[in-house]
Structure 1
């Protein structure tokens, strides 16, 4: 049986999302799982930014002009292709009339 088939069969026996993640990416704390979780967090942030920008009725170009950056940078952030500095994240959401609050867990 191929590794893909073995994983598919193993995933079918899962009852929770965490169990699926364990099968697909390894246990919490493993390098593969950590990489997946960082990517997922970046995706969620990018989608939230896009959602808030659209709610504000702004194009990427308008938001970029409002906060003093380029449209391509906003696009790269929204597509998960750029890391964003915390200060820039605050500026972006301020430009959307929002505040960013951090929770350290």
Structure 2
């Protein structure tokens, strides 16, 4: 295993090498998959914090357990409407804040 000896590294350079420069199809695919994974983890954590099973959440939004499982694994990206149904079923809200 290599180490960087605690040097600060510009991670965008690493992403450019591994996934292509911003604006390329390869980078767009990576970004889409990363956002899907990030969203899936947020929803998974929220469901667990609400102490609901996948089946209970599925019933609340009129879906089946396997659909919730696919979302939480990042295999399926829910539509915006479904995302909001999930958020509402978990008793949460969405807040948009300016980037720093």
Short-chain TM bin: 0.7 to 0.9
State the Cα RMSD in Å: 2.2
> CA offset at residue 100 of structure 1?
2.5
1:79 corresponds in structure 2 to 73
Asked if 1:65 is matched to 2:49, the reply is no
Pairing partner for 1:16 from 10, 25, 29: 10
Q: Could you list the runs of 5+ residues in structure 1 that have no partner in the other structure?
A: 1-11
1:88-103 matches, within 5 Å, as 88-101=82-95
CA distance in 2, matches of 1:92, 1:78: 12
Q: Deviations over 1:23-75 (max 9, x none)?
A: 10111101101100010000000000000000000110111111211111100
User: Structure 1 segments of 4 or more deviating over 3 A?
Assistant: none
Structure 1 stretch displaced more, 45-54 or 80-89: 80-89
Aligned residue pair count: 94
Q: Could you list the runs of 5+ residues in structure 2 that have no partner in the other structure?
A: none
Which structure has more RCO (C-alpha within 8 Å, separation ≥ 6)?
A: 2
